[in-house]
Structure 1
Amino acid sequence: MLLSQALPKLRLYYSEGSPYARICRMALREGGLVAKVQEAVTTLRDPAASVLTHSPVGRVPALVLEDGTTVTETTLILGWLDRVGSQPAMLPVDAVGLAAYGRVLGLLDGIAVWNRELRRPVDERSPSVIALEVTRAGRVADVLEEAVVAGAYNSVDAGYLALAAVLGYAEKRHTVWRWRLDRPGLARWFGQASERACFLETVPPPSGI
């Protein structure tokens, strides 16, 4: 077999600190697609970022297909991974599963905004934006506490991986959020999820926030 034929046909660009990309990287491992997709780390907010060759958006995750087409955004990439044979499939097909996944994505989006504000110089931060996202995060986490205690997020799918990614992000890169306080069910759930190989192989570096 020629070397070019043996190489993976798909390439997933990611940054080590991105929880959005981490969801896709965990999905590769859970879905049995690691051998089919090459993972390539890239810088972000950098005019020399390697991902810009394939996507003018310059964000991760970005999945480059065989013909050079680049698919961006976590949910769209998970859908594509399902199309190429992820076992199990990652995207829920029922309304309850989609709602569970969307709830965690909303939490992750809010945490990302909150974290971005904290990375600004103090005099450039928006107290109202931070207050909004603190409230949102607490409200969603309370609902997630009830959900996991009731047995939700037990199957490994997009919702499960997204929840593991956002809590893992809070552990390493957004430690100002004390999400464990008064949420023992969520803490237990995270303890179990963090033992999976897909989680251990994709742990982000700490950021100090």
Structure 2
Amino acid sequence: MRLFHAPGSPYARIARMAVIELGLQDRVAVEEATLRDPFSILLPFNPVGRVPALVLDDGTTITETTPVLTMLDSLVEPERRLLPAPDRPRALAAYGRVLGAMDGIAVWNRELRRPPHERSPGVISLEALRAVRVADALERDVASGAFAAKDAAFLALVSLCGYCEQRHTAFAWRQGRPALSELFDAAQARPSVAQTVPPAGMGGAAPPMR
């Protein structure tokens, strides 16, 4: 199998970390692809042109983070799987909350990549407020013991914070959030995290996320 990714994509980083956490490095080849590129090696497999994209041995291509994780989970024993099961609704809710925050930050970041005269102050303001609101909720969640399991929700949260730390520095996510900062800092020692750190961005915006 082949997993296409872009180094700066927090969505693809979740899948890359999952490959390592599940011990699938010998079964899944991780390959870098360019985004928004008409000559990208990704396009013959995924015409949408987004990552992560998991190409199965029969040529079937699975796209988007959660379906990719579902397939990766299917390759290991049930007790090792990363996606929260329906009997863990709080963990499932935590996973969804982080993905929602990631989507909002993607919109914010996209606006910052536009020339100044094309940016929408209203969209930037809305997404900045959303990011603060969700980060405050995540701070409370972490402080109350959420995200302790090293599951998909944990990987998504680390990926989100890592993206803001390295690529979307317009958002001071650490400010006033000691529990979230502590969780993120402690996670850096995990091989799956250390081996997938995104390259640093420049200024407040970065290249495409997916």
TM category, shorter: over 0.9
RMSD value, Cα: 0.9
Give 2:166's aligned amino acid: K
The answer to which structure has the higher helix fraction is 1
Q: Which consecutive residues of structure 2, in runs of 5 or more, have no partner in the other structure? A: 205-210
SS where residue 7 of structure 2 aligns? coil
Map of 1:196 onto structure 2: 190
2:97 paired with 1:103: yes
Partners of 2:147 and 2:6 in 1: how far apart? 26
Q: Which moves more between the two structures, 79-88 or 151-160?
A: 79-88
2:83 paired with 1:91: yes
**Which structure has the greater CA radius of gyration?**
1
TM-score, normalization by structure 1: 0.94
| Percent of matched pairs sharing the same residue | 55
> Is the 1:101–1:162 Cα contact (8 Å) retained in structure 2?
yes
Map of 2:59 onto structure 1: 68
Q: Which moves more between the two structures, 169-178 or 80-89?
A: 80-89
Partners of 2:157 and 2:167 in 1: how far apart? 15
Deviation, structure 1 residue 88: 2.0
Where relative contact order (Cα < 8 A, 6+ residues apart) is larger, the structure is 2
Partners of 2:187 and 2:101 in 1: how far apart? 18
Partners of 1:205 and 1:186 in 2: how far apart? 21
Moved over 6 A (4+): none
Deviation, structure 1 residue 73: 0.2
Count of matched residue positions in the alignment of Structure 1 and Structure 2: 200
Please give the residue correspondences for 1:124-139 in structure 2 after superposition, counting only pairs within 5 Å. Answer: 124-139=118-133
Map of 2:144 onto structure 1: 150
Partners of 1:89 and 1:207 in 2: how far apart? 32
Q: Write the deviation string for residues 109-159 of structure 1: whole angstroms up to 9, x where unpaired.
A: 111111111010000111111111111110011111111111100111110
Q: Write the deviation string for residues 79-107 of structure 1: whole angstroms up to 9, x where unpaired.
A: 00011116620110021111000000001
